[in-house]
Amino acid sequence: MRKQGRIEEAYNAARRIYSTNTDQYASSLMFWTAVDMLKFRVTEDRVEDAKLIYKALERLIGNVTD
């Protein structure tokens, strides 16, 4: 979905997966979709939403695999 440009759909799907599974692969999925979503929110000038996503990224970064 990310590669198809369906950023919000991918982000919401990743959130559903991450809510029940927080292993390193789910964490990486959540991280990379959140990065895309952060960029998307910034381009929409939705700064408050972007700040919340950034905080989530700070928490996730330690669990991300290559």
**Domain range summary for the chain, segments of one domain joined by +:** 7-63
Q: Cα separation of 7 and 42, whole Å?
A: 13
This prediction's pTM? 0.84
10-44 pLDDT, tens digit each: 999 999 999 999 888 899 999 999 999 999 999 99
Instruction: Return the structure tokens found at 57.
Output: 């990224």
**What pLDDT does residue 66 have?**
63
